[in-house]
Amino acid sequence: MNTLTLDKVKTIKTLNSISESGMKVFKNDQYSVDDSCENPDAIVVRSFNMHSMEFGSNLLGIARAGAGVNNIPVDKCTEQGIVVFNTPGANANAVKELVLTSMMASSRNLFDGIAWTKTLASEGDQIPKLVEAGKKQFVGKEIKGKTLGVIGLGAIGALVANDALDLDMDVIGFDPFISVDTAWNLSRNVQRAMTIEQLFAESDYITVHVPLTNDTRGMFNKETFSIMKPGVHIFNFSRGELVNEIDMAVALEDGIVGQYITDFPNENVLQMQNVVSIPHLGASTRESEENCAIMAARQVKELLETGNIKNS
């Protein structure tokens, strides 16, 4: 197992675009930070896929500036005594804002409406008349009074659930692993589903906020689609692999899924009418990138300076 040495300069390897404010945490003579060092004491990473990387003998910890750790070979790290951190909650507000934006935009057919309006660019002074004639196809619905199902009530899911209540939605949540701490962050008005099937059957909108594991991979599939309300809107800002995209294409064609908003573009559904594919922008705000980088850098610093493991 790698060991902690307090008196030497510690080297930190950074893998892809960690914000400058995060790196400032290391700005003193005790640290050397760069993206090419061979045998670092710690690594701070964003989305770089580390599964085929060999780890040097000095490596004590890897901090992921983000929530998901599926780009890190966690089992291999555990075997080698390397601590893996993530930054829980640091990007939660950014993701929440995009989920709620997408929910309102999809309900008002905004994505299609905007794309259609651009097709009128060459119509000159006919544009107002064409707009009035064409807008009927985009009549939407309000989210007020509709039921939102939130799968996963961690930092992001709890924020989405609470804010959806403020938008006058009925909110039903499901999380088999919810901790007492998280429960305190959750409004009492969030109804708890006893089973995930109950949530699937009762929701007009479903948003998913769980990590990718063997249990959650493909959790949206033909069986689960078959119990959903026809026309349900599904929001996936967690990981693409949670959804069986071939089954999703069928569910969209059959009208079971009314709209699918995903932060993980996939070839099976990308071109479909009721699909909005976003280029993984859930956590892409300046604030969130700073929060994640600072939290990750502090975790690594604490590990290297004291040996303490603090995943917050």
Residues with a known catalytic role: 239, 267, 280
- Interface with ligand MLT includes 98 (CB under 6 A)? no
**From the centroid of its chain, how far is CA 212?**
11
Q: Site for ligand MLT (CB under 6 A): which residue of 42, 50, 67, 210?
A: 67
- Interface with ligand MLT includes 68 (CB under 6 A)? yes
Interacting span for ligand MLT (CB under 6 A) from 61-69, 125-133, 172-180, 191-199? 61-69
Which residue has its beta carbon closest to ligand MLT?
A: 66
Nearer to ligand MLT, 47 or 221 (CB): 47
Interacting span for ligand MLT (CB under 6 A) from 66-74, 184-192, 246-254, 295-303? 66-74
Torsion on CA atoms 92, 211, 101, 153, rounded to nearest 10: -70
Q: Strand 147-151 to strand 170-174: parallel, antiparallel, or no bridges (unpaired)?
A: parallel
Vertex 91, ends 89 and 92: CA angle to 5°? 60
Beta bridge partners, 110, equal none
- Interface with ligand MLT includes 282 (CB under 6 A)? yes
Alpha carbon distance 217, 210 (integer Å): 10
Alpha carbon distance 11, 118 (integer Å): 51
Nearer to ligand MLT, 77 or 90 (CB): 90
Contacts of 64 (CB under 8 A, 6+ apart): 45, 46, 71, 72, 84, 85, 86, 87, 296
- Interface with ligand MLT includes 265 (CB under 6 A)? no
Q: Site for ligand MLT (CB under 6 A): which residue of 21, 30, 32, 47?
A: 47
Interacting span for ligand MLT (CB under 6 A) from 34-42, 63-71, 77-85, 187-195? 63-71
Nearer to ligand MLT, 10 or 46 (CB): 46
Q: In the window 208-237, what residues touch ligand MLT (CB under 6 A)?
A: none
Q: Site for ligand MLT (CB under 6 A): which residue of 11, 19, 91, 266?
A: 91
Nearer to ligand MLT, 143 or 283 (CB): 283
Alpha carbon distance 203, 73 (integer Å): 35
169, 146 contact by CB (below 8 A): yes
> Which residue type is seen at 298?
R
Name the helix (H) or strand (E) containing 130: helix 127-134
Nearer to ligand MLT, 67 or 72 (CB): 67
Nearer to ligand MLT, 154 or 282 (CB): 282
Q: What is the CA radius of gyration of the chain?
A: 22
Alpha carbon distance 184, 181 (integer Å): 5
Beta bridge partners, 260, equal 234, 275
- Interface with ligand MLT includes 157 (CB under 6 A)? no
Q: Which residues bind ligand MLT (CB under 6 A)?
A: 46-47, 66-68, 91, 282-283
